[in-house]
Amino acid sequence: MAVAIFMEDTNSLIEQRKAKLKSLEAKGIFPFQNKFTPDTECNTARSGFDSGALPEGHRVSVAGRITAHRDMGKSMFIDVRDQSGRIQVYAQKNTLGDEQFNIFTHLDLGDFVGVTGTLFRTKTGEPSIKLEAFTILAKALRPPPAKWYGLEDTEIRYRQRYLDLIANPDVKDVMLKRSAIIHEIRNFFHERKYVEVETPAMQAIPGGAAAQPFKTFHNALGCEFYLRIALELYHKRLLVGGIDKLFEIGKNFRNEGLSRRHNPEFTMLEAYQAFGDYNTMMETVESLIKHVAQKVLGTLVIEFKDAEGKVTRTIDLTNWRRAKYNDLIKEKCGADWFTISAAERRQKAHDMGAEIGKEFEDFEVTNAVFSKFIEPTLINPTFVTHLPKELVPLAKLTPDDPNTVEVFECCINGQEISPGYTEQNDPIAQRATLEHQAGGEQQKLDEDFLVALEHGMPPAGGIGIGIDRLCMMLLGQESIRDVILFPQLKPK
């Protein structure tokens, strides 16, 4: 019954707004104008007046959405908000005249309006604009959410993100900071003389990661393609071609589950440097994250807070640790972990509570323990190095340990933020590794990539950074959906 009443009320409000629209049109006013140019932003006018940079009586023109409306008979107050913030506007009947003031009364919450007037301060000390003229720029035919500020319904927030952005300034701030983070990532690499590249999102053979791809079909070519699961293999072709330092920020697609840390469409940064190695790339990751945090947030200390604003944990980006994968496993599972039998490891992992599939190979059992019991504890930045060779078939073996590869996983906030490694550039060794991974199914191999390696690829280091996870960490967000404007949802 409550839902029915709400829908009935909403429909009534829509009809009222449509009636106002017809009334305006009857007065010769078309309330969807493109003929107003603001000369400043709302917050610039407000802060400029507060600081004294703009004197009382200074004339400004601002435009934005009406987010508050207070009718006092012969005068009205409205709040106008644009991307920068809000400012209060004071309208008087004796200033506007009867006709214009009557038109002003047709305005509703959610409408877009352009206003011109002079700056002054109300008796309560609020910086405001004394209205001289206005233009209706867009009439909102639907009312805003019942709770204009503090929209909390998760389904509405994610499915109708525009309402979330209107209702929750903190959400908009997160998204604007995400944009600033990506901007600073580009600045960082450009300053280091990296070339930004673009590589195909549709690929005949998906490679560079072990993941389930999305399929599509190219009508003109008459064949199947896959949405890419990684950027890596095309970047290595460019290393072969002589582009020694390159990066790309692009979308990857993996046809897998959704969680607070996974979205099937996600944004990835990959970067490669010829004549570098995994040590080179660890320095790159650390310097990049510090650079971005300092530029965007102005701090290297990240705080996560609960709903009441209480700090629940702190990440210190000045404190970076390096630890070998096997050493962390021994700390958790005992010094004998790698000397006992595979069957004993499986049983021990099972007894600890790790999720062990029947088909898991021995290295997967160990990695299940790492994922469940070690990675979540790595809150401050930790480079976990020298992973089992089976986990990263595109990396070079560790010279003094043929069972591991020169790889790191940068873990922060209890999750992997960035893998990186010394790239395998031996075409014979790379073919053997990929054939073993494919189980002898030759059709799964990217022969063009292997042919490219045979032309000679320089020694190199490479990294990948999940932009969404990086934003979660830097912006203190617990769910990947809270740093993506339009997260994947099941259609209604």
Q: Rounded mean pLDDT of 319-344?
A: 96
Same domain, 97 and 241: no
Q: How far apart are CA 332 and CA 366, in angstroms?
A: 11
Number of domains composing the chain = 2
- Do 172 and 64 share a structural domain? no
- 28 in a structural domain: yes
Closest alpha carbon to 73 in 51, 104, 50, 49: 104
Query: Strand, helix or coil at 368?
Result: helix
Q: Check whether 121 has a pLDDT greater than 50.
A: yes
- Indicate the SS3 state at residue 17: helix
Tokens encoding 10: 């909403």
* Whether pLDDT at 8 is above 60: no
Asked if pLDDT for residue 150 goes beyond 90, the answer is no
Q: What does the alpha-carbon distance between residue 381 and residue 459 come to, in Å, rounded to a whole number?
A: 27
**Does 103 score more than 60 pLDDT?**
yes
Q: What is the DSSP string of 24-83?
A: HHHTT--SS------SS-HHHHHHHHHHTSS-TT-EEEEEEEEEEEEE-SSEEEEEEEET
Residues 291 and 436 in one domain: yes
**Mean pLDDT along residues 154-158:** 84
Q: Are 156 and 142 in contact (CB under 8 A)?
A: no
* pLDDT for res 184: 98
pLDDT for 4 equals: 39
Which contiguous run of DSSP H or E holds residue 464? strand 460-466
Provide mean pLDDT across the span 79-92.
Answer: 96
CA 60 to chain centre: 35
Residue ending a domain, among 82, 109, 144, is: 144
> What's the confidence (pLDDT) of residue 33?
87
Residue 388 lies in a domain: yes
pLDDT at 439 over 90: no
Which pLDDT does position 55 carry in this prediction?
96
Residue 159 lies in a domain: no
Instruction: Please indicate, yes or no, if residue 359 is contained in any of the structural domains.
Output: no
Kindly report, residue by residue over 358-391, the tens digit of the pLDDT: 899 999 999 999 999 999 999 999 999 999 999 9
Check whether residue 128 and residue 261 sit in a common domain. Answer: no
User: Residue 309's pLDDT band (boundaries 50, 70, 90)?
Assistant: confident
Structure tokens at 344: 């004993």
Whether 410 is in a domain gets the answer yes
- List the one residue out of 81, 83, 106 whose CA is nearest residue 96: 106
- Give tens-digit pLDDT for 9-20: 778 899 999 999
Query: How much is the pLDDT for 402?
Result: 92
Going by C-alpha positions, the residue among 286, 277, 276, 251 that lies closest to residue 265 is: 251
User: Could you tell me if 105 and 245 lie in one domain?
Assistant: no
Residue bearing the bigger pLDDT, 417 or 2: 417
Using the predicted structure, report yes or no on whether residue 274 has a pLDDT greater than 80. Answer: yes
Last residue of a domain, one of 84, 111, 144: 144
119 in the same domain as 40: yes
- Structure tokens that stand for 291 in this block: 């650079």
Q: Span 216-232, mean pLDDT?
A: 94
Tell me the two tokens of residue 188: 């960082």
- Whether 171 and 302 map to the same domain: the answer is yes
Q: Point out the domain boundary residue: 112, 144, 176.
A: 144
Residue type, 463: I
Q: Which two tokens stand for residue 221?
A: 């070519």
Tell the residue number behind the tokens 């210190």, with chain if given: 316
Half-sphere exposure of 107 (CA within 13 A, CB side): 33
How many Cβ atoms from other residues are within 10 Å of residue 448's Cβ? 12
CATH number at residue 212: 3.30.930.10
Domain containing 459 equals 165-320+380-482
Identify the three-state secondary structure at position 251.
strand
Average pLDDT of span 411-438 = 93
Mark whether 441 and 473 lie in a shared domain.
yes
CATH (domain of 129): 2.40.50.140
Residues 6 or more apart whose CB falls under 8 angstroms from that of 250 comprise 198, 199, 201, 231, 267, 268
Residue 440 predicted with pLDDT over 60: no
Q: CA-to-CA distance for 237 and 246, rounded, in angstroms?
A: 11
